[in-house]
């Protein structure tokens, strides 16, 4: 049992060697703190478990107290050491890295079950939960402190996060050997790990053999059935629950239905919610009710409950803001976050809320607000800004705002880089056109011992597609099998896009025909898009026929096919496609562009006059047109795929949403500032050439993110090298 982890696929390096202590490994970090000498009684008073987290607001304050404890000779006092370690490992303001250094610097006689469990708990919740399992291995190797009933629940949670069935089963065996087989908390943790991994029969056996059950037992099993698509069995268990159902139980069911793609079942169950939950004024109950509405997709109903509340805690704010982000209402999420900052000065945002709001900035391309958030996170949660989900969200945000330099900086500042971090930077580099850098980072990832997963290759293949690296893309596509990864629909989509962009449309169609799964809407859409770019009418017709069969109301399909016909001069065919589209009631997704200016995000559609400064915007637009003509720019009227006169085509092109956003950027930003625009559709050729010329004429750097990729315009050229 002692060496049970060593052969697992994670190839764990000993934490002891990673954090090998030197005689001054911890104290050297404390040299800078010249604090006034205080009595040992004072230090013990300050470092109490009940008030350490409130007394120490940061690691700097904690390290000052730690330095004082060492000066007073309290470094061997177990109670003082325990309190310091607990703060570092568990507190949001702590540092797991520092806690681990401190833990391995302690003499073995100081290590008791509380210290081991504290470290296992912290690592199980961290971004590297496998390290909790390795700590358990070391705990067994030393043999001086046996695991207890508090040890196993944390370890089993780590297994659930890692989907580590083998380790979970071995821990189950050790539970029996430790005489804890009938401890309710441990058995509930066993039910949960089997249920989350998908071993539902094993979870059910533990559940059925449990002489004592509580709501956690039932909720864990029901949650497992829901997660793995066994909705009927989950509903049956829910109806059989002998205990009075809590609001949390209702939340699991409604959330499970919503996440399983059954919003109607979620809404139906929400209507059955007992009145004592929906009518109560308890803040906890109302927050859960908001969560239920959000899960069911009823965001407006959630907002009504939210507005009816008096005092709101961080969980309530987080739930409502996250709901807006999940529903795609990013601007409302930002507005609500600003409101929270104004009216709730004492509410400290948690990691969940910050990840959600950073994600909103990413979708909107709101770099200014994203940078402000980054500074805010560094101030409020300094340790969290360099590790975990928040760092990955920041990398994603900077990448999607076109500031890849900042994304790379966040990546290199991270204390521990797991697969999620590497995937974030690889995808960010890819969408910004740094295809060659992606290969370099991939090599570094492998050298660091991190094995690639499916998402890794989606990012790499996407990068090859944007950079036109056909040979590299094909090589990486074959390399997947070396790591035991079978290509899925997303990988095929990247390859078809790669071949199609490069003009290898026939090869792309051939690849579709060799796929071992049925092509979906994205596959046929990628092939149709390639036909649009390269004017291949026969393959376009075949791709469109298959796409419409899968999704008769797919508006982009009809538009693309119509554009293929129009570009080929087949106006009758183009007109017929649009007439069929109108007859079926298929509505085209309108193009819109977003621009951030002075902390606000503005949205434009074609010919938009809703902005308060519309007059100035159109004046600037006219000035742009005149200066472009002086630079010998000729409108690319072939981009207007209608059988109309040249004058009408020029009008249609002149008022595209991205040009209106650009005009606002020119009048509302400083001459040295970058202009950043986000468009929901692919930028047209004329707008692309306009952006290039404007960047030279006005000496402005313009960053445009369209549906496919980033375009960095500077001094009359674009980072895409006209390959998009």
**Where do we find the tokens 């059988």?**
643
pTM confidence score: 0.65
Q: What is the pLDDT of residue 634?
A: 67
Q: What is the pLDDT of residue 394?
A: 95
User: How far apart are the C-alpha atoms of 471 and 156, rounded to whole Å?
Assistant: 44
User: How far apart are the C-alpha atoms of 53 and 85, rounded to whole Å?
Assistant: 12
Q: What is the pLDDT of residue 119?
A: 95
Q: What is the pLDDT of residue 653?
A: 60
Q: Which residues contact 356 (CB under 8 A, 6 or more apart)?
A: 318, 321, 322, 325, 333
Q: What is the pLDDT of residue 17?
A: 54
Q: What is the pLDDT of residue 50?
A: 39
Q: What is the largest CA-CA distance in the chain?
A: 92
Splitting the chain (724 residues) into consecutive groups of 10 residues, what average pLDDT does each group show?
38 50 47 47 48 62 84 83 89 84 89 94 88 93 92 95 90 92 93 93 92 90 92 92 79 81 78 71 68 82 85 86 91 91 76 90 89 88 76 94 92 88 93 88 91 92 90 93 88 92 91 89 86 85 84 75 77 79 74 85 89 92 90 63 42 77 92 89 86 93 87 88 71
Domain ranges in the chain are: 1-145, 593-718
Q: Which residues contact 591 (CB under 8 A, 6 or more apart)?
A: 605, 606, 656, 657, 679, 680, 681
Q: What is the pLDDT of residue 636?
A: 58
Q: What is the pLDDT of residue 122?
A: 93
User: How far apart are the C-alpha atoms of 337 and 321, rounded to whole Å?
Assistant: 7
Q: What is the pLDDT of residue 512?
A: 92
Q: Which helix (H) or strand (E) holds 601?
A: strand 600-605
Q: What is the pLDDT of residue 282?
A: 57
CB distance 291 to 252 below 8 Å? no
């Amino acid at each position: 049992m002692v060496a049970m982890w060593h052969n697992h696929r994670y190839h764990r390096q000993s934490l002891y060697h990673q954090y090998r202590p030197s005689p001054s490994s911890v104290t050297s970090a404390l040299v800078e703190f010249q604090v006034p000498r205080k009595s040992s009684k004072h230090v013990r008073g300050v470092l109490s478990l009940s008030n350490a987290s409130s007394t120490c607001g940061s690691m700097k304050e904690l390290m000052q107290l730690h330095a004082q404890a060492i000066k007073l000779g309290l470094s061997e006092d177990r109670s003082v050491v325990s309190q310091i370690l607990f703060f570092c490992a568990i507190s949001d303001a702590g540092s797991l890295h520092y806690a681990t250094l401190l833990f391995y610097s302690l003499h073995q006689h100081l290590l008791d079950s509380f210290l081991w469990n504290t470290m296992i708990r912290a690592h199980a919740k961290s971004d590297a939960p496998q390290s909790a399992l390795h700590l358990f291995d070391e705990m067994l190797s030393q043999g001086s402190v046996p695991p207890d009933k508090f040890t196993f629940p944390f370890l089993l949670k780590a297994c659930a996060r890692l989907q580590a069935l083998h380790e979970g089963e071995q821990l189950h065996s050790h539970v029996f050997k430790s005489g804890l087989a009938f401890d309710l908390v441990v058995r509930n943790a066993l039910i949960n790990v089997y249920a989350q991994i998908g071993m539902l029969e094993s979870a059910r056996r533990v559940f059925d053999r449990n002489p004592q059950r509580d709501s956690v037992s039932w909720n864990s099993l029901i949650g497992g059935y829901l997660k793995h698509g066994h909705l009927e069995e989950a509903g049956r268990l829910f109806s059989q629950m002998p205990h009075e159902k809590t609001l949390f139980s209702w939340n699991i069911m409604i959330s499970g239905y919503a996440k399983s793609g059954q919003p109607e079942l979620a809404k139906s169950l929400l209507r059955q919610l007992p009145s004592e939950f929906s009518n109560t004024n308890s803040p906890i109950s109302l927050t859960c009710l908001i969560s239920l509405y959000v899960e069911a997709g009823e965001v407006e109903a959630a907002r009504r409950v939210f507005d009816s509340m008096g005092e709101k805690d961080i969980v309530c704010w987080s739930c409502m803001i996250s709901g807006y982000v999940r529903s795609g209402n990013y601007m409302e999420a930002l507005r609500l976050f600003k409101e929270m900052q104004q009216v709730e000065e004492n509410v400290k945002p948690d990691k969940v809320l910050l990840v959600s709001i950073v994600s909103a900035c990413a979708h909107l391309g709101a770099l200014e607000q994203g940078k402000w958030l980054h500074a805010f996170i560094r101030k409020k949660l300094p340790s969290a800004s360099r590790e975990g989900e928040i760092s990955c969200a920041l990398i994603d945000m900077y990448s999607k705002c076109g500031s890849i330099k900042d994304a790379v900086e966040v990546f290199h500042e991270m204390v521990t880089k797991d697969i999620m971090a590497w995937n974030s930077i690889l995808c960010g580099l890819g969408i910004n056109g740094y295809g060659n850098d992606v290969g370099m980072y991939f090599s570094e990832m492998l050298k660091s011992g991190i094995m690639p997963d499916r998402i890794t290759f989606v990012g790499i293949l996407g990068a090859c597609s944007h950079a036109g690296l056909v040979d590299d893309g094909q090589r990486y596509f074959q390399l997947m099998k070396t790591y035991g990864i079978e290509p899925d629909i997303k990988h095929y989509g990247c390859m078809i896009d790669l071949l199609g962009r490069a003009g290898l449309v026939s090869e792309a169609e051939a690849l579709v025909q060799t796929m071992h799964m049925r092509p979906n809407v994205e596959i046929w859409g990628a092939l149709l898009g390639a036909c649009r770019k390269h004017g291949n009418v026969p393959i376009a017709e075949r791709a469109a026929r298959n796409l419409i069969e899968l999704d008769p109301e797919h508006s982009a399909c009809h538009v693309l096919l119509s554009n293929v016909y129009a570009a080929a001069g087949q106006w009758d065919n183009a007109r017929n496609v649009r007439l069929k589209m109108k007859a079926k009631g298929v509505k085209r997704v309108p193009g819109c562009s977003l621009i951030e200016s002075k902390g606000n995000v503005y949205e434009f559609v074609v010919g938009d006059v809703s902005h308060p400064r519309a007059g100035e915007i159109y004046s600037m637009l006219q000035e742009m047109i005149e200066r472009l003509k002086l630079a010998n720019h000729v409108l690319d009227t072939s981009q207007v795929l209608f059988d109309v006169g040249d004058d009408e085509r020029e009008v249609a092109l002149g008022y595209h949403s991205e040009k209106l956003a650009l005009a606002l950027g020119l009048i509302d930003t400083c001459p040295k500032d970058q202009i950043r625009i986000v468009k929901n559709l692919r930028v047209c050729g004329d707008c692309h050439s306009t952006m290039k010329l404007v960047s030279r004429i006005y000496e402005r750097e313009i960053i445009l993110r369209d549906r496919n990729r980033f375009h960095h315009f500077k001094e009359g050229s674009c980072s895409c090298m006209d390959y998009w």
